[in-house]
């Protein structure tokens, strides 16, 4: 285990990227700027570049394959083991002897090779890397999980890859990219009370559609009023529009916590392949209806649909502010008979904070079950798998057929507040004036 990264004297995460790249970056998008600086030359969308990787992340379900490729096909030597993180989150804790045996071996290899290991209960990979400062503005972060776009919340070039690419990135210390075109999303207007970052993210996916940003970088402008966790929600769901990366434009709020290289800023003269303007003031709470994420509709259209299980958690919406939203709705009330409420904090730190401020007590008093920080039932492996015919309202990111278990189950994706209201009602519901925030539609 290598030394943990540290913040600088001002309490900010340093960058390690040069402030002066030594060449002109004007007229380039965020993605082009990052890949240009990493490649050491000015590159444009469509070019193929090979660039150094600042952080490689892999999870328990993929790491065994990636490490086997490293050993059997690539000679076993990692270029920068200190830049590799292993997170045990996808089946954590182990659900059976097979998984336990695989994870035991994974821990051994991680120690042997000097990788950073975040074990059971530390949390979901993306949440953990952000908490640990292992994704920073301008960094190239590749993860063995498609929601690695989450790192774009701090304007890192974060993207998901398969086991072979992850193995190569570990061994070579670099990887190849086709420099992506950019789709610019501009958020305008004031966000009404009751409209969550999740609603905004789903609106982006609805407008772009599930393949509307395929191969592209999404640049998100106008998110200044969104908190750090909310920005993670926005960047997280960029992949559901097919994007390679989803980057929130750097601003002063980001600079409070990170050193942001001076060249890492939006250039509105850069050429993009599409622009999308979203008037926040016109939005309301929405659901993503089975079985596609871009199948987004107002919650009001589905109010009353019986719900067997409500799941609050995941890399999309398992953070402290999400748990606060849920607590505000369920405080003093009870989960409906015939409905289960599972709450799985995104990380051990989130759990500790939610315990300390009383949120967990509020949730438990309302009848919620609290799970071990990790991915939970999001991909249908354990801790809340669905039976045929069951309906789940989930704060997660995918409602694909069979995603959480039976292909005959249905998953509605929603914000934490809508999920909480649905748990209380036992059916799809909007938070009312009594619980949580009033909803203005």
Chain positions contacting other proteins, by CB under 8 A: 16-18, 37-40, 48, 50-52, 54, 60-62, 64-65, 69, 73-74, 80, 90-91, 95, 98-99, 102, 143-146, 148, 159-165, 167-168, 172-176, 178, 210-211, 214-215, 242-244, 292, 379-381, 385, 398, 400-403, 405, 407
Least distance CB 210 / other proteins (angstroms): 6
Least distance CB 111 / other proteins (angstroms): 20
Cβ closest to other proteins, residue 164 vs residue 281: 164
Cβ closest to other proteins, residue 40 vs residue 189: 40
Least distance CB 388 / other proteins (angstroms): 12
Least distance CB 392 / other proteins (angstroms): 14
Least distance CB 208 / other proteins (angstroms): 12
Cβ closest to other proteins, residue 17 vs residue 312: 17
Cβ closest to other proteins, residue 300 vs residue 372: 372
Least distance CB 215 / other proteins (angstroms): 5
Cβ closest to other proteins, residue 139 vs residue 226: 139
One-letter-per-residue 3-state SS of the chain:
CCCCCCCCCCCCECCCCCCCCCCCCCCCCHHHHHHHHHHCCCCCCCCEEEEECCEEEEECCCHHHHHHHHHHHCCCCCCCHHHEEEECCCCCCCCCHHHHHHHHHHHHHHHHHCCEEECCCCECHHHHHHHCCCCCCCCEEEECCHHHHHHHHHCCEEEECCHHHHHHHHHHCEEEEECCCEEEEEEECCCCCCCCHHHHHHHHHHHHCCCCCCCCEEEEECCCCCCHHHHHHHHHHHHHHCCCEEEECCCHHHHCCECCCCCCCCCCCCCCCEEEEEEHHHCCCEEECCCCCCCEEEHHHHCCCECCEEEECHHHHCCHHHHHHHHHHHCCCCCCCCCEEEECCCEHHHHHHHHHCCHHHHHHHCCCEECCCCCCCCCCCCCCCECCCCEEEECCCCCCCCCCECCCCEEEECCHHHHHHHHHHCECCCCCCCCCCCCCC
Cβ closest to other proteins, residue 157 vs residue 226: 157
């Amino acid at each position: 285990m290598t030394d943990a990264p540290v913040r600088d004297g001002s309490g900010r995460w340093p960058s390690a990227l040069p402030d002066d790249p030594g060449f002109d970056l004007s007229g380039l998008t965020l993605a082009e700027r990052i890949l240009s600086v990493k490649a050491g030359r000015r590159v444009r969308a469509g070019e193929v570049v090979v660039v150094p990787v600042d952080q490689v992340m892999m999870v328990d379900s993929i790491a065994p394959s990636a490490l086997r490729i490293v050993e059997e096909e690539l000679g076993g030597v990692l270029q920068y083991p200190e830049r590799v993180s292993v997170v045990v989150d996808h089946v954590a804790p182990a659900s059976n002897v097979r998984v336990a045996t695989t994870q035991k071996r994974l821990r051994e290899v991680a120690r042997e090779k000097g990788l950073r290991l975040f074990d059971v209960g530390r949390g979901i990979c993306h949440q953990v890397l952000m908490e640990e400062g292992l994704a920073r503005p301008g960094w190239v972060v590749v993860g063995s999980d498609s929601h690695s776009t989450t790192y774009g919340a701090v304007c890192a070039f974060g993207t998901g890859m398969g086991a072979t690419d992850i193995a190569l990135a570990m061994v070579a210390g670099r990887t190849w990219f086709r420099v992506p075109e950019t789709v610019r999303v501009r958020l305008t207007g004031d966000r009404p009370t009751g409209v969550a970052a999740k609603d905004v993210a789903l609106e982006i996916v609805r407008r772009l559609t599930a393949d509307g940003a395929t191969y592209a970088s999404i640049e998100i402008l106008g998110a200044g009023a969104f908190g750090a966790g909310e920005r993670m929600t926005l960047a997280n769901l960029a992949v559901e529009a097919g994007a390679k990366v989803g980057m929130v434009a750097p601003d002063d709020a980001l600079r409070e916590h990170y050193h942001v290289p001076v060249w890492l800023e939006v250039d509105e003269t850069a050429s993009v392949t599409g622009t999308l303007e979203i008037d926040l003031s016109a939005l309301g709470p929405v659901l993503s209806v089975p079985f596609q994420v871009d199948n987004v509709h107002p919650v009001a259209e589905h109010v009353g649909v019986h719900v067997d299980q409500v799941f609050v958690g995941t890399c999309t919406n398992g953070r402290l502010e999400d748990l606060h939203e849920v607590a505000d709705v369920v405080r003093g009330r009870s989960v409906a008979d015939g409905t289960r409420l599972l709450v799985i904090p995104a990380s051990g730190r989130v759990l500790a904070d939610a315990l300390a401020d009383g949120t967990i007590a509020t949730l438990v008093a309302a009848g919620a079950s609290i799970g071990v920080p990790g991915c939970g039932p999001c991909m249908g492996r354990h801790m809340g798998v669905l039976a045929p015919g069951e309906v789940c309202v989930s704060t997660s990111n995918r409602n694909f057929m069979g995603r959480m278990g039976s292909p005959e189950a249905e998953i509605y994706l929603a914000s934490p507040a809508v999920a909480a209201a649905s748990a209380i009602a036992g059916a799809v519901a909007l938070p009312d004036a009594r619980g949580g925030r009033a909803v203005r539609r």
